[in-house]
Amino acid sequence: GFVVPMVAVQLEKMGIDDAVGAFPVHGIGGLIGVVSCGIFAAGYPNVDGMPPVSLWGQIVGAVTMAVLGFVPGYVVSYILKVFGLLRVPDHIQEKGLDIVKVPVSAYPENYTPGPVNVATPAAAGTPAE
Q: Which alpha helices (H) appear in the chain, and where do they start and end?
A: 3-13, 22, 29-40, 55-82, 90-95, 97-101, 121-124
Model-level pTM greater than 0.75? no
Q: How large is the average pLDDT for residues 99-116?
A: 72
Q: Is the pLDDT of residue 72 over 90?
A: yes
Residue 113 lies in a domain: no
What is the Rg, in whole angstroms, of the alpha carbon atoms belonging to the chain?
Answer: 25
Amino acid 47: pLDDT: 85
Residue 125 lies in a domain: no
Count: domains in the chain: 1
Name the residue range of residue 81's domain: 2-90
Residue 71 lies in a domain: yes
Task: Estimate the crossing angle of helix 55-82 against helix 29-40, to 10 degrees.
Answer: 170
Q: How far apart are CA 104 and CA 54, in angstroms?
A: 52
Q: Is the pLDDT of residue 61 over 90?
A: yes
Residue 122 lies in a domain: no
Count of CB atoms situated within 10 Å of the CB of 60: 12
Nearest to 29 by CA among 54, 55, 65: 65
Residue 61 lies in a domain: yes
Residue 10 lies in a domain: yes
Residue 49 lies in a domain: yes
Residue 98 lies in a domain: no
